[in-house]
Amino acid sequence: MGFVSESFNVYYRLIISELLQIIKRANETGEDPFMLSNRFCDEYNIDMSDLQCETPSKEPRVSQHLEEIKDMITQIINNGYAYEVEGDVFYAVDKCPNYGMLSGQKLEHNRAGERVAVDSRKRHPADFALWKAAKPGEPSWDSPWGPGRPGWHIECSAMSACYLTHKFDIHGGGIDLIFPHHENEIAQSWAADNESHVGYWMHNGHVTNNNEKMSKSLGNFFTIRQITERYHPLALRHFLISAHYRSPLNYSISQLENSSDAIYYIFQTLQDCKDALSPFLQEGPEKNEKVPQINEAAKECIKKLSVEFQTKMSDDLQTPVILTGAIQEALKFVNSSLKMLKKKMQKRAQLQLIQSLQEVEKEVAKVLDVLGLLSSKSYAEVLQQLKEKALKRAGLAEGELLHLIEERTQARVNKDFLRSDKIRTDLTAKGIALMDVGNEIIWRPCIPSEPVVGDQRGPVVEEKQSIPAVNKKGEEIPGDREGNGSRTT
């Protein structure tokens, strides 16, 4: 998103691999593997849309690019970097002089075979498959080496070359893919075209549970939809970018609560600004009245936010600094200026303050948009959604909450302050804050005062539960090679 904001012409490609885990799952269920893959891809795209992730320019699938894959394997063989054995094709790693350049792994230190038996047909224990001979129960395609299917690593190299050429700017993926997957991608592309194909590698850390990588094998993960059932997708996105993308991020209910509260504060501030400015903007300046420039405080606020955003995003996407830095000062400026706007002042000073609020709000919205934290829905709609999620976590229907508010009001009338305080305290513990505004009582979501293990606010990490990934039909989604715990925004 940062590159898009700088007006670069970005081509974003997401490879869809339909083999390995999909084949295994299809064999278990008796389904066509490609129909299964289509359904899971659709479910994945729904989740990514909910989290406001950019839609790829292209989502190529391995099954649609078998000819390109076979052509690259042939090229690697012809260049002397691969060999065929009984229908399998292996890459000869000792032929690649720079093997290990990305991960720092030295070929002489590769300990393949210590834990898993090495195929005796390989010339070197670290040699890896470019093409695998057909096996019963697996899809296969004809090739110069007999029927079979591509190896894992060659898919990415061939499809990258097809859409991005052998030289492109940025390649992303989970930190666990540095070796062997991305190392092998480099080796393959170099062997095919004698050129390292990636300008920058960006590896994201994993979302962990109790500081362990989330994975199906450990049964310690939560799906996106399990979380967004109780927390707004914007809160989850805020949580994910609250740590630097290369760092691990430990899943935590308290952190999700903090992110949800932060999103509510942002949107409430923007909504308050919109409500306060609306009557002035509808009225507009008087005829021939010159609108004054924004005040110095607003200029400084906008400059600081803009400079910090550009600097930190350009320095390896330092989103945590942006979320806690100048944007918070900008929101404070809006709130303090809204208080000033309620006071009596000269017309020119009032117009200047209105203009200042407008410009600061625009800059805040621009930053939120690039971060993927600005919804297509109105501020009011997002606030209502956040309230609905808070009620769900609290285990309350709106009618029940209104009844408790009325009960508290009556308790205060009866001077039963013990009961009044208890209702307020109990609701705060559930994440519902009551505020007395004049003669009116309003409520908003808040961070629960006393989180309890096993309460109704969402998946609780302390309980070590095993929850499968499921789609809308309740079907389990197979894990992927990219790492179940990888996070992308």
d(CA 320, CA 330): 16
Q: What is the pLDDT of residues 268-282, one digit of tens each?
A: 999 999 999 999 888
d(CA 457, CA 255): 12
Candidates 37, 41, 73, 34; CA nearest to 161 is: 73
Question: What integer pLDDT is reported at residue 386 of this predicted model?
Answer: 99
Question: What integer pLDDT is reported at residue 28 of this predicted model?
Answer: 80
Residues of the chain where predicted confidence (pLDDT) is lower than 70? 1-7, 18-20, 109-116, 166, 284-289, 450-489
The answer as to whether 337 is a domain residue is no
Question: What integer pLDDT is reported at residue 22 of this predicted model?
Answer: 77
For 179, the domain range is 2-205
Question: What integer pLDDT is reported at residue 487 of this predicted model?
Answer: 54
Cis (ω within 30 of 0) for the bond into 180? yes
The answer as to whether 252 is a domain residue is no
The answer as to whether 91 is a domain residue is yes
Question: What integer pLDDT is reported at residue 15 of this predicted model?
Answer: 81
CATH number of the domain encompassing residue 137: 3.40.50.620
Question: What integer pLDDT is reported at residue 25 of this predicted model?
Answer: 79
Question: What integer pLDDT is reported at residue 485 of this predicted model?
Answer: 46
The answer as to whether 450 is a domain residue is no
Question: What integer pLDDT is reported at residue 111 of this predicted model?
Answer: 56
Q: In the chain, how many domains are there?
A: 1
The answer as to whether 274 is a domain residue is no
